[in-house]
């Protein structure tokens, strides 16, 4: 596997994990009845719908990662640009870590 495909695979996998953890965290808070502690009661339905959307987006990202792993990339759009994400360096890892802190706290400390 080339370095560009590996970087793309890692990015899609991290996005899928992040979106899934947000969706699972919201679902856990809703299931335990603690979602009202974080948001107002009239917004609960919208947050639950957002959790469904995040879950669907995580499935899409996981599917994209599987497609890249199997060797089937996205079709060429014809723009002459190679749509590869930037290298996964410390800054990108720090941004992913910042996004993973809230769902980690929701799941670790219910």
pLDDT digits (tens, 9 = 90+) for 49-76: 999 999 999 999 999 999 989 987 766 6
Tens of pLDDT along 77-89?
677 777 677 777 8
Neighbours of 110 (CB within 10 A): 11
Sign of torsion over alpha carbons 48, 54, 56, 62: negative
Buried-state track 79-101, b at ≥16 Cβ within 10 A, e below 16: eeeeeeeeeeeeebeeebeebee
Buried-state track 9-26, b at ≥16 Cβ within 10 A, e below 16: bbbbbbbbbbbbbbbbbb
- Global confidence as pTM: 0.81
């Amino acid at each position: 596997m080339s370095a560009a495909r590996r970087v793309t695979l890692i990015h899609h996998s991290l996005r899928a994990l992040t979106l899934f953890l947000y969706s699972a965290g919201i679902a856990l808070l809703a299931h335990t009845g603690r979602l009202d502690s974080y948001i107002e009661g009239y917004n609960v339905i919208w947050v639950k719908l957002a959790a469904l959307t995040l879950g669907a987006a995580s499935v899409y990202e996981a599917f994209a990662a599987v497609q890249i792993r199997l060797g089937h990339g996205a079709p060429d759009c014809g723009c002459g640009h190679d749509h590869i994400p930037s290298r996964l360096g410390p800054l990108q890892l720090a941004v992913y870590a910042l996004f993973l802190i809230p769902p980690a706290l929701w799941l670790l400390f219910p």
